[in-house]
Amino acid sequence: MRIVIGEDSALFREGLSALLGELGHEVVATAADAPGALAAILEHRPDVAVLDVRMPPNHAHDGAEVAAEVRRRTPEVGVLLLSQHVETRLSVELVATGRFGYLLKDRVLDVDEFVDALTRVAAGGSALDPEVVARLLAGGRDSLSALTPRELEVLALMAEGLANPGIAARLVLAERTVESHVGSILAKLGLSEGGPSEHRRVRAVLAYLEVRHGGPS
């Protein structure tokens, strides 16, 4: 993959760049602030951009604002936001566009999980940190009362961005069993029309939780 990194911590930025390079990916540019990150993304058109949510110049949601601008101007570029804190509303708003991931920075320490998220985002899918998913599901708990405990487990993994084979492997279930659970979940949430793809199902579930219940902020 061709990757742009936007991160104001020089140590984290260079360490992440070195890690991705060792794994065979090409880091085409790095930037220490939001304007530099946006310029690098527009110039290089990478497969995916990895951005810190809070970057100079404002140290607020500059990285998220870059992500939104990238989505508007270059929708073919995937964006993976990294954050120190869980911000569910931000993640829901952006995941609905596809080619988007949102992970806590600690998740980078699990290299396989991090690279898997990058790969899914670059391929047009979604990747949400399990802690974000747990917060979202807690916020919509009343609406999910019709789901069985197993269906709740499957829904959480769907929201993380896993396809049916990944869910089956994580829960040690047959893939056809997972397909049955997914169909039941979507039917109970009123989201079964139109035969959506895996990442569209993730966005639909998250949109349902956000729109119907306001989601936690």
Query: pLDDT (tens digit, 9 = 90+) per residue, 92-124?
Result: 666 666 788 889 998 898 999 899 999 999 998
Average pLDDT, the chain: 83
Which pTM does this prediction carry? 0.72
CA angle 212, 90, 123 (to 5 degrees): 100
The pLDDT, as a whole number, for residue 198 is: 54
Strand 78-83 relative to strand 126-128, pairing: unpaired
Reading the block at residue 182, the tokens are 């997914």
Query: Could you tell me the CATH superfamily of domain 2-128?
Result: Response regulator (3.40.50.2300)
Contact 73, 97 (CB under 8 A): no
Contact 126, 161 (CB under 8 A): yes
CB atoms within 10 A of CB 26: 12
Domain ranges for the chain: 2-128, 133-213
Distance, in Å, from the CA atom of 124 to the CA atom of 164, rounded to the nearest integer, reads 16
Distance, in Å, from the CA atom of 180 to the CA atom of 37, rounded to the nearest integer, reads 43
pLDDT digits (tens, 9 = 90+) for 137-152: 666 556 677 889 998 8
Distance, in Å, from the CA atom of 84 to the CA atom of 89, rounded to the nearest integer, reads 15
CA distances from 75 to 71, 79, 99, 122 (A): 5, 10, 8, 11
Output helix, strand, coil percentages for the chain, rounded to the nearest 5.
Answer: 55, 15, 30
Q: Which has the closest alpha carbon to 76: 51, 98, 54?
A: 98
Determine the length of the chain: 217
- Alpha helices, DSSP H, located in the chain: 10-22, 34-44, 62-73, 88-95, 111-122, 130-139, 149-160, 164-171, 175-188, 198-213
Distance, in Å, from the CA atom of 58 to the CA atom of 186, rounded to the nearest integer, reads 40
Residues of the chain where predicted confidence (pLDDT) is lower than 50: 195-196, 211-213, 215-217
Domain 133-213 has CATH 1.10.10.10: yes
